């Protein structure tokens, strides 16, 4: 167990390290120096060393990093050796898009079912998961070991649904509804807001435009 508190910035960079190392593994690369990794990732070599030192280093002076080992170790830090059962609440455009994306499953995130209130959607299949009525949600959580619930309903319904999910034992919420959920601190919430990402892009574009004016 890592006793030291790891900063959010480091945690935010780990999935990117994991992805790059995964690409290197696919190309059968055995080892990489922090300099090469830094050139590829456009992160300074010292930043990489500093980040990985949080977890005990993994590198060897003059050798660099063993790609397979580092990939596996970062995967462990990210908890990716576990399998996660996911349900999706709201089987509209976004809920279906998430359920249709097969790559999550390859990484151990398995969509077990979707839930919705729309009679037209209930009973339909999205990839290998069924859209079920909300009335079955509590029993489904009880009967299946569900780790994560994705919330892809309109924002007005999201807080009530989140509270019910927590009451029924869900510990991880992947929230896409554009609203802040006030949940107990033992519940882990990851918010994904593409609109905020677009606003950041807009800010950077407009700043560059001003620079050239």
Identify which of residues 6 and 199 has a Cβ nearer to ligand NAI in the complex: 199
CB of 53 to ligand NAI, least distance (A): 34
Least distance (Å) from ligand NAI to the CB of residue 195? 6
Q: What's the burial of 163, exposed, middle or buried (CB within 10 Å: 0-12/13-18/19+)?
A: middle
For residue 74, the minimal CB distance to ligand NAI (Å) is: 26
CB-closest chain residue to ligand NAI: 92
Going through the chain in order, the beta strands assigned E by DSSP cover: 31-32, 65-66, 84-89, 109-116, 125-126, 129-133, 148-151, 172-175, 188-191
Please, are residues 104 and 98 in contact by the beta-carbon 8 Å criterion? yes
Q: Which residues contact 14 (CB under 8 A, 6 or more apart)?
A: 51, 74, 77, 78
- Shortest approach of ligand NAI to residue 191 CB, angstroms? 8
What does the binding site for ligand NAI look like in residue numbers (CB under 6 A)? Answer: 89-95, 115-118, 121, 134, 152-155, 157, 161, 176-178, 192-195
CB of 179 to ligand NAI, least distance (A): 8
Task: Write the Ramachandran bin of 182: left for phi over 0, alpha for psi from -120 to 50, otherwise beta.
Answer: beta
Shorter beta-carbon distance to ligand NAI: residue 109 or 176 = 176
Contacting residues for 153 by C-beta, under 8 A, at least 6 apart: 89, 90, 92, 161, 177
Nearer to ligand NAI, 99 or 153 (CB): 153
Nearer of residues 44 and 197 to ligand NAI, judged by Cβ: 197
Q: Which is nearer to ligand NAI, 87 or 91 (CB)?
A: 91
Count of C-beta atoms within a 10 Å radius of residue 72: 15
- Give whichever of 84 and 176 is closer to ligand NAI, judged by the CB atom: 176
As measured in angstroms, the least distance from the Cβ of 56 to ligand NAI is 35
DSSP conformational letter for 6: P
């Amino acid at each position: 167990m890592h006793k030291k508190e790891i900063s959010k910035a480091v945690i935010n960079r780990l999935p990117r390290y994991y992805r790059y190392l995964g690409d290197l593994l696919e190309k059968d690369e055995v080892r990489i120096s922090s300099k090469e990794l830094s050139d590829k990732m456009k992160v300074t070599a010292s930043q990489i060393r500093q980040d990985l030192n949080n977890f005990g280093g993994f590198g060897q002076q003059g050798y660099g990093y063993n790609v397979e080992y580092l990939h596996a170790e970062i995967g462990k830090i990210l908890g990716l050796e576990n399998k996660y059962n996911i349900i999706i609440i709201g089987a509209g455009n976004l809920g279906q898009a998430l359920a249709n994306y097969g790559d999550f499953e390859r990484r151990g995130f398995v969509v077990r079912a979707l839930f919705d209130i729309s009679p037209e959607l209930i009973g339909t299949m999205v990839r290998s998961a069924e859209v079920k009525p909300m009335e079955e949600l509590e029993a489904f959580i009880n009967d299946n070991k569900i780790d994560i619930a994705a919330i892809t309903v309109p924002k007005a319904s999201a807080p009530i649904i989140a509270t019910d999910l927590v009451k029924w034992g869900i510990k991880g919420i992947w929230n896409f509804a554009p609203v802040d959920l006030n949940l107990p601190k033992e519940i882990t919430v990851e918010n994904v807001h593409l609109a905020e990402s677009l606003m950041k892009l807009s800010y950077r574009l407009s700043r560059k435009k001003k620079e050239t004016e």
